[in-house]
Amino acid sequence: KTVGIIGAGPAGLACADVLVRNGVKAVVYDRYEEIGGLLTFGIPEFKLEKDIVRRRREILEGMGVEFVLNTEVGKDISFDKLMSKHDAVFMGMGAYNAMRGGFPGEDSKGVLQALPYLINNVRQSMGTLPEGEVPISMKGKRVLVLGGGDTAMDCIRTAIRQGAVNVKCIYRRGEESMPGSKREVANAKEEGADFLWNYQPLAIEPMVGGTLAVRLAQTQHFPTGTRGRGTVELVPGSEMVIQCDRVIIAFGFMPQKQSWCETAGIMTDKAARVKTNLKSTFHHQTSHSKIFAAGDMVTGSDLVVTAVFGGRQAALEIVDYLANTDLNVS
């Protein structure tokens, strides 16, 4: 029996690990040149040395896991072909689709999304930057980072290491409401970052000479709200403008809906998260009985350990699925 795993991130690697331990051939497909997903490309090297991920690859390959890298499902290999090659499929593609702020100037020159910036930086350090892709550096730049999660802190600390003259974080709530790790915020402060709390971006305006003007408004927090974090409203007459050279947007990520999900009958919700646990048999089984899923593409952006746990549990379910011929019907 063989299982095709889409995505070599934490969920996919955990799934492959458990499958081969149970005598099932695992073939992992990933669009990047190295395994790890966001462990490799989203987390800067100063937080996670890439040799750790490379050693994990050597261990998994020694166990019998096969990696098919630089291969994007739906582009380099069709989903139908992948389905025909394997007895089951596991999807663990994570959440790479950047959330947008919806304000004017978001696509201006000099405005970067967090993940492409971080991936570019990691590839520079690994020496795997694709031919024709320009290295991104913040050396000598005044940088504004919009957002308050761990990815925003990664961008801040990366920009500082690249030699930015000033790095400022803009967050629309207070420090106590930051969604990321308090340790990450403390590290960013220690390394020289400035923070502007309770300000929300309204627009980004290109200036003559290539600089940017970011228009902000002060916010006020009210404790009521449907998600338990309260609501934020703009304070009238509180607008201000900050000039900078680069803006990095780090508002979070959502799963990216794949065109083949619909044709394969894989149900997703409005946020493009894959629906699982639709039947009582297997918690990680999708609406297509041959296809399982776990990690951020099911839960939305979450912790690495959550994705690992989901991948491991899904693998055990796949082993049971493959062993029971009565369930092995699409």
Give the N- to C-terminal CA distance of the chain in Å, as an integer: 16
Cβ-count burial 143-163 (b if 16+ within 10 Å, e if not): bbbbbbbbbbbbbbbbbbebe
Q: Say how far apart CA 238 and CA 186 lie, in whole Å.
A: 28
Class of domain 2-96+253-323 (CATH, top level): alpha beta
100-249 belongs to CATH 3.40.1410.10: no
> For 325, phi and psi rounded to 5 degrees?
-65, -25
Task: State yes or no: pLDDT of 213 exceeds 70.
Answer: yes
Q: Which regions of the chain carry the CATH code 3.50.50.60?
A: 2-96+253-323, 100-249
The structure's pTM equals 0.91
Q: Report whether pLDDT(71) > 70.
A: yes
At residue 143, the pLDDT reads 98
Work out the pLDDT band at 199, boundaries 50, 70, 90.
very high
The pLDDT, as a whole number, for residue 227 is 59
Q: Where are the alpha helices (DSSP H) in the chain?
A: 10-21, 38-41, 50-63, 79-85, 114-126, 150-161, 182-190, 259-263, 296-299, 304-323
pLDDT per position as a tens digit, 291-306: 999 999 999 989 899 9
Does residue 325 register a pLDDT over 90?
no
Residues 166 and 143: beta-carbon distance below 8 Å:
yes
Binning pLDDT at 50, 70 and 90, where does residue 326 land?
A: very low
- pLDDT, residue 226, reads 56
Instruction: Give CA–CA dist 20/61, Å, rounded.
Output: 10
For residue 114, pLDDT over 90 is answered with yes
CB 155 within 8 A of CB 250: yes
Confidence of residue 328 (pLDDT cuts 50, 70, 90): very low
- Residue-wise pLDDT tens digits, 250-287: 998 999 888 888 888 899 999 899 999 987 789 999 99
Q: What is the pLDDT of residues 161-186, one digit of tens each?
A: 999 999 999 999 999 888 888 999 99
